[in-house]
Chain A
Amino acid sequence: MASRGTAQRPNGTQGKICQFKLVLLGESAVGKSSLVLRFVKGQFHEYQESTIGAAFLTQTVCLEETTVKFEIWDTAGQERYHSLAPMYYRGAQAAIVVYDITNQDTFTRATTWVKELQRQASPSIVIALAGNKADLGNKRVVEYEEAQAYAEENGLLFMETSAKTAMNVNDIFLAIAKKLPKNEQTGNAGTSGQGRRLVESEGQKPTSGNCCK
């Protein structure tokens, strides 16, 4: 007799998983690691250790139609590690560029990250701009409208987030998951195991054509 569970499943639950590499960029201390921690573990630390390197975690998002598995690379924000950033954004299919709404410089830095991604990263990369620390509204210096207008001009997803209150954290990852192309080869999970180096995946042929049927 047929082994069970091989028959039809409801739409979008065909068991296909699309795997994507997502990289977080932005000035140091804007809350990149905190966003990842909130998204992956549902936690927040007032004293988040600063990232010296590129941390790696996995998180899966179940959409109506597909299942999206993110391979998340959280990078060090300090300027001296800037030259290493391409190791992580090359070959990434998505990026979240983070700034701190209470710090104008971090927004300026975010815009230069966006420019760098537009120039150097994969042309099809989905970029989201996150204005983090939205819970600190009273110290706000970057206006929502300003960032919104900038994002619109550059075709970026945009949300103000708070790793502290969890506001919009799942949502921004979800929005990216929805925007990622699911049937192109870019989304193929076959080639990259977890923790596989981002740079390696470039130019590699996916093992099978369609990822989400």
Chain B
Amino acid sequence: MSTPEQLAIVQSKFTTGETVVIAMEAKLCQGWLKSTRLIAVVNKGSTSALVVLITSRNPPQVYSDLTIEKILPIDQDFQCNIGTDEEQQDVTDVFLNVTCRKTRTIFEMRPGIAATNLVSAIFQAIDVYQKNKNPTTDFLWIQKLTGSVRSLDISGDQEETISDPIVDLESQDINISRRNIATGKTPIAPRESVVRYQMACKEDDYTYTKNFRLFIGTWNVNGQPPIGITLQKWLSCDEEPPDIYAIGFQELDLSKEAFLFNDTPREEEWRHIVSRSLHPDANYEQIALVRLVGMMLIVFTQTAHLPHIKNVCVDTVGTGIMGKMGNKGGVAVSCTIHNTSVCFINAHLAAHSEEYERRNQDFADICARLHFSTYAPSKGFKDHDQIYWLGDLNYRITEMDAFRAKQFLAGGNLLPVLKLDQLEQQRKLGKVFQGFHEADITFKPTYKYDPGTDNWDSSEKGRAPAWCDRVLWKGEAINSIAYRSHPELKISDHKPVSSIFDSQVRVIDVAKYRKIHEDLMKKLDKLENEFLPQVTVDTTEVIFETLRFDEPCSKELIVANTGQVPVEFEFIKKLDDASYCKDWLSITPYTDFIEPGQKCDIKLEVRVDKRSAWKLNSGADQLYDILVLHLVNGKDIFITVTGTYERSCFGCSMEALIHIPVPIREVPAGRIMELENSKNLSQDPYSVPKEIWLLVDRLYRHGIKTPGLFETQGLHSEVLAIRDWLDVGSQDAMPGSVHSVAEALLLLLDSTPEPLIPYNLHSQCLSATASYLQCKQIVMQLPEIRRTVFLYICAFLQELLNHTQDNGLDAKTLASLFGSFFLRDLPRARDDRIHRSRTIQPTFDRKKAAFVYHFLINDQSDFIGR
């Protein structure tokens, strides 16, 4: 949606003065459904609104593709926050959470520049409103667009919002817009993310808070070993034992060894003394220790909390030489305490008075580079509920000379000096520690002292005092209780600092959680089941009484959508079947959509034709099929189709017909099946099937001089009458015109399971067409019955050609007609479109004709004699 053309289409929904600032695609989340919308920020004068549009085409092409669904004025009642779905590994979608007129709307957006721009446009609009506080009347332009005052009525007639298509996720029930479902376009989001999201929204219902007392300490020990000292005065100077300790050191070891190889005995020495100096009134357990060169951070917890501390993870970032070495940088511990994620960072930022910009840079680097990989996806430092940042941050005082500063400090007047603290200044400028808090400083600078004393640095350099050592925090529900230094510890040129916090930690009530989770599942199940496609069919048994060869018969099946959602149905294949129904059946439509409350008539047509007849005669198939009517995303319904087939000579093989001396209906079906399977053949079969003989004889007697014989179409009804005459037997003369008789003969030849000349000889036939002798040899190879019928028909055709002056026939025409039946191609599969190409087929047809032609123009008395 970023192209100017598309923006112009959105703009076209508004009049001059109403400017579409930005528009983008987003998914409107409604319970577990997500549907596509365009969201746009539109402003008029100094007022703005968030507009939700439905688009019938994506991206929209013309004005009419768009409908304004909702307009949310960006005023005092408008709230917006952003979240990401962090547990989703592959896609970290951005959720835009908008609350307006007590209705919450959630949009999911693809992260990226467009989302960023949209969000900043919204926040800018909020800022503008905050400055101007426009009266309600300024928003009247919205009224005109929505045709309703609802969106402006702040006191809120809540009844109206019930019909609101947008879901209130916090309501007891998850409402889903039926209209949305009814469009059938709403994809169903994976349930997992829905559950996660819904549970997150309900977090307050199953969590309670618990107070944790945290002790945060930091000390730059200037490379001194902890010999002959104890740390109680720093670590356990309070009455109440803290729940958690996070203690950071800098310059633990200044040796080359430590710097180059990150290895130092001091780690254990300090760890040991710290662990022995913790508050005596509680038992503590170390949960993490992380060190990079001289920066070390140790976290302890009271033993009782241990089971509730999870996902403990550490990381280090070096910002020293080349931005990598660990003489400067930060070490961090991340963990979750009950349901609250907490991060402790101990940093040692760049030194030297003037280098505050480097320090800012170090801070930004640490923020960007810290990663905790026990979480999937890994967490950055920002992704924590509570962050505690401690360390030697090294910010100095440069705008007051050391002498004056010391004077103020000696008089206990900290304020004039504090005002010039670089960290304070940089934070005020928004250059560093954005969003962090720091308690008021009431202690003297912690740097720089002559070691072993409380005297300011008396060395040549005479460094100015500074509050290098600090503790800051970020996050909700954190209360600072104390912030102080501990001058009693004198071995370093820094004094240790400590901070006490009372922090609220969210604790899950497991029973409540389970209950809410289960209820949510039940609701989702119910929704899912309720919105399954539902139909009724008027029957599941479709019975066709009597079906005759080549006489189609159809019945109707009515499918009614009785559910709440549009249904897409489809007849589907059973397991290994090639098609969704037998080849004698056709279903129209076999797939379609039905809107709720609507019906669809499905036509089931049964037609036993030349391709299926033999299978029914031989028992290879039955007029019986079970259709599987599948509802997409829902159930299946079985429809049984049955029928009774009246057997016919059409669709029988020549081999079977010669063994049937009576009309075929007089023969039991089982007998035909036997004959078709070459069982119990009769002793004296006919040499030519009587049906062929009857048809040929009729043509010979009545049609030999008829012009256009075999060129004129018969009547279908007459062909059916001839069929019945042959199948049932009658004393009457054969019905129908000679043209219908001719067609019946061809149909009889066409409906045998195999063409008169078996498939396996076709290629020989086609390559022998140049030589009559070769063609004759092939005919000699034919099974006796086939050869007899072949020659019998050819003889009849020769007879016809003796009367060309009357019937106007010629050998070429007859040869090509009968060639196509004698050498009939393999049947095509129902949807076989490849077959022979159109360019090759004529060549084949010509060769078939050439083959038959030989037998129409050559004398065959030598054949017949045999």
Do A and B share a complex?
A: yes
Binary B-proximity of A1-33 (CB < 8 A = 1, otherwise 0): 111111111100101110000000000000000
- Answer yes or no: B185 CB below 8 A from chain A CBs: no
Among B336, B474, B514, the residue within 8 A (CB) of A7 is B336
With the chains together, A5 CA to B521 CA distance in Å?
Answer: 17
For residue B368, give the distance in angstroms from its CB to the closest CB of chain A.
17
Among B195, B385, B575, the residue within 8 A (CB) of A2 is B385
- Answer yes or no: B562 CB below 8 A from chain A CBs: no
With the chains together, A171 CA to B382 CA distance in Å?
Answer: 45
Question: CB-nearest residue of chain B relative to A67?
Answer: B521
Set of chain B residues within 8 Å of A5, measured between Cβ atoms: 196-197, 199-201, 203
Binary A-proximity of B297-315 (CB < 8 A = 1, otherwise 0): 0000000000000110000
The answer to whether B383 touches A58 (Cβ under 8 A) is no
* CB interface residues, B 480-509, toward A, < 8 Å: 506, 508
Set of chain A residues within 8 Å of B628, measured between Cβ atoms: 53, 84, 87
How many Cβ-Cβ contacts under 8 Å join chain A to chain B?
A: 142
For residue B516, give the distance in angstroms from its CB to the closest CB of chain A.
10
The answer to whether B191 touches A10 (Cβ under 8 A) is no
The answer to whether B199 touches A193 (Cβ under 8 A) is no
Q: Which of B188, B197, B200 has most A Cβ within 10 Å?
A: B200
For residue A168, give the distance in angstroms from its CB to the closest CB of chain B.
20
Evaluate whether A40 and B340 lie within 8 angstroms (CB atoms) in the complex, with A13-B514, A53-B638 already known.
Answer: no
The answer to whether B518 touches A62 (Cβ under 8 A) is yes
With the chains together, A8 CA to B342 CA distance in Å?
Answer: 11
For residue A80, give the distance in angstroms from its CB to the closest CB of chain B.
7
The answer to whether B528 touches A194 (Cβ under 8 A) is yes
Among B203, B336, B532, the residue within 8 A (CB) of A57 is B532
- Answer yes or no: A141 CB below 8 A from chain B CBs: no
Among B95, B197, B524, the residue within 8 A (CB) of A60 is B524
Interface SS of B by simple majority: mixed
- Answer yes or no: A206 CB below 8 A from chain B CBs: no
Set of chain A residues within 8 Å of B635, measured between Cβ atoms: 53-56, 195
- Answer yes or no: A204 CB below 8 A from chain B CBs: no
The answer to whether B310 touches A58 (Cβ under 8 A) is no
Set of chain B residues within 8 Å of A7, measured between Cβ atoms: 336, 339-341, 385, 506
Question: CB-nearest residue of chain B relative to A54?
Answer: B636
* CB interface residues, B 308-353, toward A, < 8 Å: 310-311, 336, 338-341
For residue B720, give the distance in angstroms from its CB to the closest CB of chain A.
33
Question: CB-nearest residue of chain A relative to B637?
Answer: A53
Stretch at the interface among B80-88, B170-178, B232-240: B80-88
The answer to whether B195 touches A15 (Cβ under 8 A) is yes
Classify chain B's interface size.
35 or more
Evaluate whether A80 and B626 lie within 8 angstroms (CB atoms) in the complex, with A1-B385, A6-B200, A15-B196 already known.
Answer: yes
Evaluate whether A3 and B86 lie within 8 angstroms (CB atoms) in the complex, with A13-B514, A84-B638 already known.
Answer: yes
Evaluate whether A53 and B475 lie within 8 angstroms (CB atoms) in the complex, with A5-B196, A9-B508, A59-B525 already known.
Answer: no
- Answer yes or no: B574 CB below 8 A from chain A CBs: yes
Binary B-proximity of A136-155 (CB < 8 A = 1, otherwise 0): 00000000000000000000
The answer to whether A60 touches B521 (Cβ under 8 A) is yes
- Answer yes or no: A179 CB below 8 A from chain B CBs: no
Among A2, A190, A193, A196, the residue within 8 A (CB) of B341 is A2
Question: CB-nearest residue of chain A relative to B341?
Answer: A7
Chain A residue total in the interface (Cβ 8 A): 44
Evaluate whether A86 and B575 lie within 8 angstroms (CB atoms) in the complex, with A56-B634, A58-B525 already known.
Answer: yes
- Answer yes or no: A189 CB below 8 A from chain B CBs: yes
The answer to whether B574 touches A87 (Cβ under 8 A) is yes
Question: CB-nearest residue of chain A relative to B508?
Answer: A10
Among A2, A55, A59, the residue within 8 A (CB) of B382 is A2
- Answer yes or no: B227 CB below 8 A from chain A CBs: no
* CB interface residues, B 381-405, toward A, < 8 Å: 382-385
Set of chain B residues within 8 Å of A56, measured between Cβ atoms: 532, 634-636
Among A4, A13, A15, A199, the residue within 8 A (CB) of B192 is A15
Question: CB-nearest residue of chain A relative to B89?
Answer: A208
Among A15, A16, A83, the residue within 8 A (CB) of B199 is A15
With the chains together, A199 CA to B575 CA distance in Å?
Answer: 8
The answer to whether B192 touches A189 (Cβ under 8 A) is yes
Interface, chain B (partner A; CB < 8 A): 83-87, 89, 95, 188, 190-192, 195-197, 199-201, 203, 310-311, 336, 338-341, 382-385, 474-476, 506, 508, 510, 513-514, 517-518, 521-522, 524-525, 528-529, 532, 540, 572, 574-575, 626, 628-638, 640
Closest 5 CB pairs of A and B: A5-B200, A3-B83, A195-B633, A53-B637, A60-B521
